[in-house]
Structure 1
Amino acid sequence: QQQQQQQQQNKARQRQEMEKKQQQAAKPKFKDLEAALKAVVVSDLRVNLWAVNENFKDNHLMMLKAITAFLNEQLRVESVDPIFADKPQSYPYCVLPRDLQELVDETVVNAGEQNVQYFYDLTLSNLASDMNRNLPHLGHKIMLQAMAQHIPQICANNLARNAILRNSFQNRSNVGLSLLWALGQGGLGDPNVGLKVWQDIMVPVIDLKTYSKYVVEYIHAVLSQHKSTNLEISSSEFLTILSSLTTQVKASRDLAKLLEEASKLLVERYVFSAPKTSSTFTTLFKNIQFIAKSELIYFGLILCLTEDPECWAAWRGLYRKNVQQTADLLAYIESSSTESTQKLVGDRLFHQFLDDIQEINIELGQSKKKVEGLKASTTVLQQVQDKVASKKNKSAKAASKTASRGAASKCCSFLLATFLLFGLTGGLIGFDTYRAGGTFEKSHTGQLLKQAGLLPAVEDAWTCTLKHSARGYKWAEEHVPVYYNATSKAVGPYVEFSIEFSKILWNGTKKGFGTVKTLVEQKTPVVVDFVEQYAPGLPKKVGDFTSSSWTAVSAFTVKTYHQSCEFFKTKVFV
């Protein structure tokens, strides 16, 4: 009788499943998720939630369950990538209609962290189960993503349980990838959550072909984002994650490059997140041999040294018991050409440290006990000191070049000032001579020199200057044309360009001047009439004064020009 009852129950269950499948087959499927979301009627969902709230007053879990069931039913898509490759990280949540997104957010926030944690774990299991039975599941994914965005920590609170769930569906790659995607959503907002999920959930499947690409890209994305967020991980967690990043020998070239970049990002962020950098330096220094790629530890040690001066004292204290490790680190510094290494080589504290360990090496060499790595340390120390000395010499040469350029600049400035001074003095003397009728002896300058008894000497010097100037002029007449022809061939095109450019500039200036002239002609009568009202006779006085001033300036300029021409004809070019 019990067997008959069980058979009847099984038949009823099979009938229900058949009906459910028939109903699902009857409902149309959309081509993509965006099209399905556009067809969602949010008002229908609000009616469902109102009915649920009436039956289960303030039961937030039932509200979350109702939204998930509604979305699963509405979002039927032909085929969906389990990790939404080539889509934004916040997809599909970012393409939800605004009113639907607000409704989901409101329900998640009102549920509280404890209810959300419970429903997250339940939904994760339901996602795997429904995908395994080929049932609609996109509602699960949207709700899992929404909850992870609001409370990232829920993704890392039950890692042991979720690891078992992953193992159960590991052979179903679409289900396994969906689980990794859902558990990884919290890490995209909080790198500390992402590191925990990656190490405990994703690393165990990193060697599997269907999982490796997503796992490597995920850790790179986690470490590349939110760089202002400090990494709150212990030294043991850091070393474990770094070891996982550096021991993946089966990775392809592209994935190996991403792993290397992620490793450097991890080291850099761990160093800069440390509350005390010198303690981090000690931790890294003592664990050099435990990491497959020691250059990553060296990279972190150099960051520590450039970040905190106390690290030099920590290194000095570690040296006697870690001579070989120091030799290896110095060899890396000597051969590296990175920006941080070059900065370190020029640091005064580094030079002092080299002197200190040189003295310690002498002391250790005199002891009877053989020290491992002492010979290597002495050799590489000399190489590093040579590199430091070479850099100092280059810096000194660069400084001397800068100083010589500065001196040349000062010299040019001095010569320019000298020429200006002589030119100004010559102009004043010429004007003084012009006022005295063109006779230097009758000028104020000549009278002053005559009283001082220097006039004959000055006249002799001037005669000598004219004589040599004449010789120079004759030499220029003979030789300058030769150099002029050679120079004109070289600079001719540039001169022609300058002439053409000057013409264009002059035409533009004339146009501008013509415009200004027209404007002045139009506005001058208006201004004159306005001024005449308040100051009768003032415009006429201004005009007369301007006219007389311009006449005087013009006459003086013409006289000066003629006098200068006569002076050069009779006194210079003789």
Structure 2
Amino acid sequence: MASTGEWELVVKGSKKGKGATVANGKLNKEEKKQFIQKAPRVTLTGGIEVVAAGKENRKPKSPKAASAPKKKKPEKKNNVGPYQPGTLEEAVCRLSVGEMQNLLDVVVSRFYDSPLIWLKDLASYLNVRVNPVHSPDPAFRGHPNTFPASLLGSEVKKLLVNTLSGCTDNVLALFHKHCITSMVQEQIKGLGVAGYKLFLQILSINHAHVGVMNLPYYCDLRHNIQNQTPACLSMLWAVGQSGLDDFTVGLKVWMELMVPLIGLKNYSAYVVDYGSTVFGGGGGDGAEDCGDVLGVREFFTILDFTWCSSVSLPKPVQRQLFALYPKVKTAAFSSSPEVTLRNFFPSFLRRLDPNVSHALRVELLTCLVQCLTQDPQCWSIWSQLYLKHLPQSAVLLHHLGREWKILSRSLRVQRKEVRETIEGFAESNEQMSHKARAVAGVIEATEATKVLLNQMKTVKGKSPLPRVMKLLGIVLVTAIIWDIRSAGSFYGSKLGQTVERAGLVPYLETFGQASKAAFIHSYKWCVINIPVFYIRGCELAAPYLLLMMEKVEGIIGYCSAALASAEEYIPVLKEKIETSVPGLRASAGHYGTLALETMQVGFLAIKDALTPYLAEAHKFFSTRVFVGPLAPEKLQEYMIGAVDYLSQLLLRMHSSLVSALQDPDTTTNKTS
């Protein structure tokens, strides 16, 4: 113990015994050094390290203690779950139709009158089972349109289709909405959604109209998640599956859901590609029914972006959009342009600003000319809009004056009405002439109107002379035939009497006899010599033909024998290959399928690239070449008339030939 004012320090090995008293509570240098060395230390990790005792207090470690293993920290247990497939193809191939049928039977037995619950449980099962390690592209770009439904086995696909067919449209629409919502929510959380996409594609293929029953909801959802690119692309792909085989549905989905995103960098390529797919698949079949979907506002949205804002797109997407635009225009104008173009004319005229780019000006002028030539009502609409859009009208008048010689032939309105409209424009220009400095476009419009009126004076209508000559020829031939048939012979007819009075009968008889003799001589030569030449040719060529047939038969026999022997060795060869190189057949089949899919994608790409040019060529030939006398209807009439004429001519020639060949025999009999 330490007394008052003193500390007692116990130091081992000290000569003073167990303890030593430190005077005034102070330690000398050696004692401080020993105290610091033997004091507990705080480690870097926050623990306390006790200094080991001196040599005199160290005890030798026992063998047991030396050999005892150190305690290990308990390791975390790895929760090894079921095997997760690496690719989507592998995940789909692992689906079991038996498990799906058992699940469906249990759910149906519990909720007999709730088909929506059946479908939800089946979709959840698919989404859990089809969950590959490597998530595929959200829109499956680079794959055919039938992917991934094409990976499903026939039994699994049949089970899904039969389950969907037993539900009403309202139930299917609610289920479609549930799958879209769940897919978006889970993909935002980073979970797999391939199962939902698979089920949605099967639903869209068999019930396309269901995909647009909730389209306003999908548009609102798109607006909310367009910053989440993968989830938004998945939704666009899933809803767009309904329109791949139905043009009207696909056009509605494209215009209302996808086109608002066409200016965004992350979506423009997919939106343009989907539009090309829709118009490439069935744009010609449903174009007449798309007026409610593709109206004036929707069409000019595409036109403005194509010609004004498409420079922000990558070059391939920009080219694809320009190739898509003519199809959109054809569908918008529909099959009755004579009553629909009047709705488009004001918007075309308003955009024809003198300062627009050359390419856009050419397109607007082409469309305006089409409106004026095919829809007569556009002229009266132009009269109402003339002063309001005077600079634009000046550009259009200048173009009409430059191309009037060609355009005047295709007008569906009388030239008198067109002339009255242009004269009305000239009067309006005179009234506005004193305001030329204040009103833009008056001077240009005045000059263009004068040029157009001069062109209309110089360009006359199509000459009727060819038609008159054709009509006169038909009348003349008809009169001659009627005259000869009425008189009973050529010499008794008025034409024959006229020819006889003119002294032309001997020349006609000489020419007719010479022609008849030449024809008879040629016919007799053919009857006598052609069979001889045919027999001689058969004699010369028959040995070679027989030898060729023998060689061909030998080759066929050799090939059949080789195939028969191959059929015997192929199973053995298959077994040897499978034994020596396991999995080779499966790998070859897999890569063969991939090669076929790649070829299919390439073929579709080539087809999509060539389709616009073929459509333009078809449009050019149908509107510029095969019109008027070369129209298909006229060509058909010409062919039918030519066939009838040739058949009648051959019958007359045959009868004349028979009578000519019989005349010598009759003469000989009479002489004898």
Smaller-chain TM-score bracket: 0.5 to 0.7
Quick check: 1:128–1:169 contact (8 Å CA) kept in 2? no
Amino acid at match of 2:291: L
Residue 23 (str. 1) matches residue 78 (str. 2): no
Return the match for 2:276 from 220, 226, 233: 220
Deviations 1:222-241 (A, max 9, x none): 34434343231454444444
Structure 2 CA distance for partners of 1:104 and 1:389, relative to 1, 3 Å:
farther
Quick check: 2:394–2:444 contact (8 Å CA) kept in 1? yes
Residue 280 (str. 1) matches residue 338 (str. 2): no
Quick check: 2:349–2:368 contact (8 Å CA) kept in 1? no
Q: Distance in 2 between matches of 1:168 and 1:346?
A: 51
Deviations 1:467-512 (A, max 9, x none): xxxxxxxxxxxxxxxxxxxxxxxxxxxxxxxxxx999955455579
> Could you tell me how far 1:61 is from its partner in structure 2?
2.1
Structure 2: state its 5+ residue gaps: 1-75, 482-495, 515-525, 540-661
Amino acid at match of 1:121: K
Write the mapping of 1:474-513 to structure 2, written as runs, cut at 5 A.
505=530, 507-508=532-533
Matched with 1:304 is 371
Amino acid at match of 2:423: E
Return the match for 1:70 from 125, 150, 155: 125
Matched with 1:379 is 447
> Could you tell me how far 1:343 is from its partner in structure 2?
5.8
Matched with 1:137 is 193
Return the match for 1:327 from 394, 401, 423: 394
> Could you tell me how far 1:94 is from its partner in structure 2?
5.0
Quick check: 2:91–2:131 contact (8 Å CA) kept in 1? yes
Quick check: 1:156–1:196 contact (8 Å CA) kept in 2? no
Q: Distance in 1 between matches of 2:423 and 2:252?
A: 45
Greater alpha carbon shift after TM alignment, 47-56 vs 261-270 = 261-270
Matched with 2:177 is 121
Structure 2 CA distance for partners of 1:74 and 1:400, relative to 1, 3 Å:
same
Q: Distance in 1 between matches of 2:408 and 2:222?
A: 44
Matched with 1:4 is none
Amino acid at match of 1:266: V
Residue 88 (str. 1) matches residue 123 (str. 2): no
Deviations 1:74-125 (A, max 9, x none): 4355553332234333433355444433433343344433333333333223
Residue 108 (str. 1) matches residue 154 (str. 2): no
Quick check: 1:324–1:372 contact (8 Å CA) kept in 2? yes
Structure 2 CA distance for partners of 1:193 and 1:384, relative to 1, 3 Å:
farther
Residue 166 (str. 1) matches residue 233 (str. 2): no
Quick check: 2:352–2:395 contact (8 Å CA) kept in 1? no
Q: Distance in 2 between matches of 1:110 and 1:74?
A: 24
Quick check: 2:138–2:233 contact (8 Å CA) kept in 1? yes
Structure 2 CA distance for partners of 1:348 and 1:236, relative to 1, 3 Å:
closer
Return the match for 1:270 from 332, 335, 349: 332
Q: Secondary structure at the match of 1:259?
A: helix
Structure 2 CA distance for partners of 1:377 and 1:507, relative to 1, 3 Å:
farther
Structure 2 CA distance for partners of 1:144 and 1:60, relative to 1, 3 Å:
same
Return the match for 2:411 from 319, 329, 347: 347
Q: Secondary structure at the match of 1:82?
A: coil
Write the mapping of 1:427-438 to structure 2, written as runs, cut at 5 A.
none
Q: Secondary structure at the match of 2:310?
A: coil
Return the match for 2:424 from 360, 363, 383: 360
Q: Secondary structure at the match of 1:249?
A: helix
Write the mapping of 1:250-265 to structure 2, written as runs, cut at 5 A.
250-265=312-327
Amino acid at match of 1:373: G
> Could you tell me how far 1:423 is from its partner in structure 2?
6.2
Quick check: 1:68–1:143 contact (8 Å CA) kept in 2? yes
Structure 2 CA distance for partners of 1:164 and 1:347, relative to 1, 3 Å:
closer
Quick check: 2:345–2:371 contact (8 Å CA) kept in 1? no
Structure 2 CA distance for partners of 1:55 and 1:428, relative to 1, 3 Å:
closer
Quick check: 1:194–1:222 contact (8 Å CA) kept in 2? yes
Quick check: 2:211–2:239 contact (8 Å CA) kept in 1? no
Quick check: 1:36–1:74 contact (8 Å CA) kept in 2? yes
Normalized per residue, the structure richer in helix is 1
Amino acid at match of 2:445: S
Structure 2 CA distance for partners of 1:144 and 1:165, relative to 1, 3 Å:
farther
Matched with 2:289 is 229
Matched with 2:304 is 243
> Could you tell me how far 1:398 is from its partner in structure 2?
9.8
Quick check: 1:152–1:190 contact (8 Å CA) kept in 2? no
Q: CA RMSD in A?
A: 5.0
> Could you tell me how far 1:51 is from its partner in structure 2?
0.8
Matched with 1:180 is 236
Write the mapping of 1:152-163 to structure 2, written as runs, cut at 5 A.
152-154=211-213, 156-163=215-222
Matched with 1:466 is none
> Could you tell me how far 1:388 is from its partner in structure 2?
6.3
Quick check: 2:373–2:410 contact (8 Å CA) kept in 1? no
Q: TM-score, normalised by structure 1?
A: 0.58
Quick check: 2:173–2:213 contact (8 Å CA) kept in 1? yes
Deviations 1:366-414 (A, max 9, x none): 4365364343234334555676678758x5499499979x89x99xx99
Quick check: 2:394–2:448 contact (8 Å CA) kept in 1? yes
> Could you tell me how far 1:162 is from its partner in structure 2?
1.4
- Give the number of aligned pairs: 423
Matched with 1:469 is none
Structure 2 CA distance for partners of 1:343 and 1:59, relative to 1, 3 Å:
farther
> Could you tell me how far 1:153 is from its partner in structure 2?
0.9
Structure 2 CA distance for partners of 1:54 and 1:344, relative to 1, 3 Å:
farther
> Could you tell me how far 1:551 is from its partner in structure 2?
7.2
Q: Distance in 2 between matches of 1:321 and 1:165?
A: 41
Structure 2 CA distance for partners of 1:157 and 1:427, relative to 1, 3 Å:
closer
Greater alpha carbon shift after TM alignment, 152-161 vs 125-134 = 125-134
Amino acid at match of 2:375: D
> Could you tell me how far 1:356 is from its partner in structure 2?
1.7
Quick check: 1:123–1:140 contact (8 Å CA) kept in 2? yes
Greater alpha carbon shift after TM alignment, 50-59 vs 359-368 = 359-368
Quick check: 2:255–2:298 contact (8 Å CA) kept in 1? no
Deviations 1:454-478 (A, max 9, x none): xxxxxxxxxxxxxxxxxxxxxxxxx
Quick check: 2:115–2:171 contact (8 Å CA) kept in 1? yes
